[in-house]
Chain A
């Protein structure tokens, strides 16, 4: 009985997910109180990050990830 429900549930979940991509994830528009805080912004410490990126770009063999890496030699 339980098992059947589990399978059924899994099946329905899978189809819903495939139909709707990631709609199961996320929040309702009125539940964005925390997400919308400045501290939760993915780019909140942008200046710090760009300074760090400049150091790492100059001192390490690989760089980037956050955004475009172009511009400047940054040698030595």
Chain B
């Protein structure tokens, strides 16, 4: 008994020391403190594929496919690559407040309008995008304990493109019971949104002339153009730094602790989002194009645990994020991989996420106050709670292939971050829930 007790103290002390240690050195998916063991390491390509369909009730739907390939060229010289394709259509909240009367808005392109019925969250239904992403990663040992990796990622969408490079270094210590990782990534993005980038906080121009639309209406066109930026920043650069440590605790338990630092500079505003200006009756007078700061510094602390029970494997992770936009968040996710037979398993999962609003988030602006320098009514940077419930079933086939199906239900619950609704807004739903359903198929060979 006593011995067991001491052992616990000992483990606690060791954990405490590890945590101290981890503040300066810390890990990512690139590393795997448990190699020596790759049974599938048979020098052939390992291909994983997945196809996901995502659908929100009355809003966005998306289809995303991934093909990932990996090959060990011997002695852990590993090349991996991934091709991602996704396509997105549907409606997304514009940021404008709902009203008791139907409203008309100009589409971001300036070429058409959309109408929102009364008592309804305004949704801009013109979203349509296709993205193609490709990345390739190389990793290899440089000594018995040290491993390096490097990679490049290219991403192209209709109105956005991105190139990113990364490098990482992993060192294994204590007979591979500990691995420390450090990595660096640079991303260079360029945007060219349809209809251009709006002048920050300029009012949306709405063409009220009946029967004349788009290109034929010269005065509307000039007015619209006046709300568009002619030059200015259309790029976004990101530097990511990461430190991680992976530690085997005992025969059944492994954990990882990461610290991530991210510095983003450039155009960080969402060109399609607006903020309503309302009077004391809650009537929307006009819609201002949102404006966000051109810099953001983010910090992430991520802690993942894997525990092996007699049969099942339990995965528990926690992430704490905070940044200088004053958004802080907690995310807790757990999964239980429960074998049904020697070749099948079922994996229920649950995730809880909670964030605080950015300091410049506001659901609307009242006309008796000066217009702030930065403002956004995007609920995604407001106070928000989300829950995800999921389940996966996977079956391994005799030829070393496997197939799986996964389903998820995702609920976003925006919350009032302490803003007092005025006039008619008191009777309207400013924080509408969004529900999404995800179904996904996997096949590996």
The reply to whether A and B meet directly (CB within 8 Å) is yes
Residues of A at the B interface (CB closer than 8 Å) are 9-10, 13-14, 17-18, 20-29, 31-43, 45-48, 50-52, 54-56, 59-73, 75-76
9 of the cross-chain contacts (CB-CB < 8 Å) are: A18-B17, A26-B247, A27-B250, A35-B308, A39-B345, A42-B306, A45-B392, A61-B381, A71-B155
Say yes or no for B297: interface residue by CB 8 A criterion. no
Please tell me which one of the listed residues A40, A62, A64 contacts residue B313 in the complex, with CB atoms under 8 A apart: A40
Least CB distance from B257 to A in Å reads: 11
A47 touches B14 (CB 8 A): no
Contacts of B248 in A (CB 8 A): 25-27, 32, 35
B321 touches A64 (CB 8 A): yes
Contacts of B440 in A (CB 8 A): 48, 51
Contacts of A69 in B (CB 8 A): 238, 240, 260, 262
Contacts of A17 in B (CB 8 A): 13-14, 17
A75 touches B386 (CB 8 A): no
Say yes or no for B105: interface residue by CB 8 A criterion. no
B29 touches A43 (CB 8 A): yes
Contacts of A10 in B (CB 8 A): 9
Contacts of B300 in A (CB 8 A): 62, 64-65
Contacts of B187 in A (CB 8 A): 70-71
Closest chain A residue, CB of each to CB of B10: A13
Closest chain B residue, CB of each to CB of A55: B54
Known contacts A61-B355, A76-B127, A24 near B260 by CB under 8 Å = no
Say yes or no for B205: interface residue by CB 8 A criterion. no
B160 touches A73 (CB 8 A): yes
A56 touches B13 (CB 8 A): no
How long is the Cα–Cα vector from A72 to B218 in the complex, in angstroms?
35
Contacts of B39 in A (CB 8 A): 38
Contacts of A62 in B (CB 8 A): 298, 300, 321, 323, 327-329, 355
Residues of B at the A interface (CB closer than 8 Å) are 6, 9-11, 13-15, 17-18, 21, 28-30, 32-37, 39-40, 48-50, 52, 54, 60, 64, 66, 68, 82, 84, 86, 88, 92, 127, 129, 131, 133, 135, 153, 155, 157, 159-160, 162, 164, 166, 173-178, 183, 185-187, 189, 191, 238, 240, 242, 246-252, 254, 256, 258, 260, 262, 270, 272, 298, 300-302, 304, 306, 308, 313, 317, 319, 321, 323, 327-329, 331, 335, 337, 345, 353, 355, 358, 380-382, 384, 386, 388, 392, 406, 408, 410, 412, 434, 436, 438, 440, 442
A22 touches B21 (CB 8 A): yes
How long is the Cα–Cα vector from A46 to B270 in the complex, in angstroms?
29
B18 touches A70 (CB 8 A): no
Q: Per DSSP, are chain B's interface residues mostly helix, strand or loop, or mixed?
A: strand
Least CB distance from A76 to B in Å reads: 4
Least CB distance from A75 to B in Å reads: 6
A26 touches B252 (CB 8 A): no
B164 touches A70 (CB 8 A): yes
Least CB distance from A38 to B in Å reads: 8
Contacts of A72 in B (CB 8 A): 131, 133, 155, 157, 160, 162
Q: Per DSSP, are chain A's interface residues mostly helix, strand or loop, or mixed?
A: loop
B21 touches A42 (CB 8 A): no
Contacts of B270 in A (CB 8 A): 75
Contacts of B247 in A (CB 8 A): 22, 25-26
Contacts of A31 in B (CB 8 A): 251
A68 touches B189 (CB 8 A): no
Please tell me which one of the listed residues A9, A20, A35, A48 contacts residue B254 in the complex, with CB atoms under 8 A apart: A35
A60 touches B355 (CB 8 A): yes
Contacts of B386 in A (CB 8 A): 59-60
Contacts of A32 in B (CB 8 A): 34, 36-37, 176, 248, 251
Kindly name the residue among B14, B64, B157, B189 whose own CB sees the greatest number of chain A CB atoms within 10 A. Answer: B14
Contacts of A20 in B (CB 8 A): 174
A47 touches B48 (CB 8 A): yes
B127 touches A25 (CB 8 A): no
B438 touches A55 (CB 8 A): yes
Least CB distance from A9 to B in Å reads: 6
Contacts of A54 in B (CB 8 A): 64, 86
B6 touches A25 (CB 8 A): no
B178 touches A68 (CB 8 A): no
Kindly name the residue among A33, A64, A70 whose own CB sees the greatest number of chain B CB atoms within 10 A. Answer: A70
Contacts of A76 in B (CB 8 A): 60, 88, 92, 127, 129, 272
How long is the Cα–Cα vector from A8 to B422 in the complex, in angstroms?
68
Please tell me which one of the listed residues B34, B436, B438 contacts residue A36 in the complex, with CB atoms under 8 A apart: B34
B304 touches A42 (CB 8 A): yes
Least CB distance from B310 to A in Å reads: 10
